[in-house]
Structure 1
Amino acid sequence: MDAPATPRWTIRAPGSERSARTLYCLPHGGGSAAEYVRWARDLRRVAVCAVQLPGRGSRLEEPAPTGMDELVGTLVEELVLNPPYVLFGHSFGALVAYEFAQALRTAGRPLPERLILSSYPAPHLPRESSGLHRLPDGELLAEVARLHGGIPDEVLGNAELSRLAAHCVRADYRIVETYSWRPRPPLPVPITVLGGRDDVVSEEQLAAWCAHTTMGPIRQRTFAGGHFYFRERQRAAVLRTVEAAAC
């Protein structure tokens, strides 16, 4: 059996060790592991293991990766996964989950039982170059909040909290905005895709993930709400959907 995951990379929710399957959660842009550790109160049939990336949360003092290849390469080298497992990623985390799975296949490592990808367009679709990561801190946070929400008012209204948030958001947007998809065979992994009905990411952009699996049609579910639909009034329904997909 694989050794436990490197502690600095993961935060495993208390009491979840008894579950046979692990749900590894990759955070959204600027996010940390804390968001997903809280899910464990409602997800009883899977062990919730939140991935903590460098440059945020408990790893704030570590340098953040500057590109997708660097981030994914380090994950493959250092994050020990305990099969059977499922990868969940929201927004930026969905792109990381996909690239991580591709890199695991290349390395001959065990693949996830399923990818659960939330609120991010399929990676082969054309993208406009926004250059948000080059904006000053205040403008960066204001534009991200306008596009996606998710940044609390208490952060936007506090200089020190804004500085810390901008540091994390900038690092992840730099990765997204310098990312270039490389054509590779679809993954032999089933895919579930989730999204918010009022998000800037359209249902058509989510449906295009079907090009990246050989395991038949994707499962797609859209909930009321925006980019962070799972924080809104349908939270319980979202988590039931995540748990059912993971199991």
Structure 2
Amino acid sequence: MTVAVSDDVLSRWLPFRALTGAEPGALPLYCLPHAGGAASAFRMWQGKLPGVAVQPVQPPGRESRHREPPYERMPQLASDLADAVLADVETSAAGRRYAMYGHSLGALVAFEVVREVRRRGGPQPVHLFVSGSDAPHVTYEDGPMVRKMNRDEVVELLRRLGGTPEWLLADAEALEMILPAVRADFTVKETYLYQDEPPLDLPISALPSRSDPRVTLAKADGWREQTSGNFARHLFDGGHFAVFEQAPRTHRIVAEALRPWV
């Protein structure tokens, strides 16, 4: 299926589109960041996966898109990102084959993008990787709603989760730049309403962490119910950002799962 998305819009969603360091025909892997996160979270993954073109996704409201208002609801976010993914896939030398990786909020967004593509009759990814996230259909208990927290409470939450440099949390001017995207992203999560649909017909790999303060292993295991294909769980030691802190292991897991397609 052909999706009309301008090169300008596509380059905003995929700011490192031409800088993957991968050979022509490499399998695109669209990587979606955590709440408040940006494409740079996956920048160092480029060139680390043989035969794979890592494509970090840049949601609006941060980094190169900091002047654009961030999304606050899942349906529009998933629909617009599905447009971009489909447009890029249609022009890819990989022959409409691709994979998706989402961390934390990015896992839920990736899941909803895949389901949106399926509703449109588009090509499904060869694999979906999720980390730092409960399964979409389970009841999550994250504590107080972040969108209702004051600035100090949000900062303390980010500090507890890790992944945000301390210098940034201590810089009032820098905080004013990142907090709108953080609040908007948590609003996407906190207003998300799971709709029951048939399981995806593709393999899913979950990469949870033992000491993640916001994700229990039991609820992460619920991802197996979202596929009629193969499910694999790869357990990490560490907290919410263990897959980034132990990037070489993450790369090995992803590369092995994608080996049949590259």
1:89-104 residue pairs with structure 2 within 5 A? 89-104=102-117
User: What is the CA-CA distance between 1:127 and the residue it aligns to?
Assistant: 2.1
Runs of 4+ in 1 over 3 A off after TM superposition: 1-5
Q: Distance in 1 between matches of 2:25 and 2:221?
A: 31
For the pair 1:167 / 2:180, whether they are aligned, the reply is: yes
Paired position in structure 2 for 1:37: 43
Counterpart of 1:85?
A: 98
Question: Which of 37, 41, 55 is residue 49 of structure 1 equivalent to?
Answer: 55
SS class of match (1:207):
helix
- For residues 31 and 170 of structure 2, the distance between their equivalents in structure 1, rounded to whole angstroms, comes to 29
CA distance in 2, matches of 1:97, 1:152: 25
Looking at structure 2, the residues matched to 230 and 77 of structure 1 have their Cα atoms a distance apart, in angstroms, of 28
What is the CA–CA distance in structure 2 between the aligned matches of 1:224 and 1:130, rounded to whole Å? 26
**Could you say which residue in structure 2 is the equivalent of 1:221?**
234
What TM-score does the superposition give when structure 2 sets the normalisation length?
Answer: 0.87
| Corresponding residue number in structure 1 for 2:12 | 8
In structure 2, relative to structure 1, the CA distance for the partners of 1:58 and 1:114 (3 Å cut) is same
State the partner residue of 1:176: 189
Deviation string, structure 1 residues 197-234 (Cα, Å, up to 9, x no partner): 21121221111111100114x110011111100232x3
Aligned 1:99-114 pairs, distance under 5 A: 99-114=112-127
Partner residue, 1:63: 69
> 8 Å contact 1:138–1:162 — kept in the other structure?
no
Residues 23 and 246 in structure 1, CA contact (< 8 A), matched pair in contact too: no
Q: Which SS does the other structure have where 2:154 is aligned?
A: helix
Unmatched segments (≥5 aa) in structure 1 = none
Asked if structure 2 preserves the Cα contact closer than 8 Å seen for 1:20 and 1:84, the reply is no
Consecutive unaligned residues of structure 2, counting only runs of 5 or more, are 90-95
* Coordinate RMSD, CA, aligned: 1.9
Q: Tell me the residue number matched to 2:251.
A: 239
Correspondences of 1:71-220 after superposition (within 5 Å): 71-79=77-85, 80-82=87-89, 83-128=96-141, 130-146=144-160, 148-200=161-213, 201-216=215-230, 218-220=231-233
Describe the SS at the equivalent of 2:198. Answer: coil
Deviations 1:87-130 (A, max 9, x none): 00000000001011111100111111010011100111112363
Q: What letter is aligned with 1:85? A: Y
What code does the residue aligned with 1:229 have? A
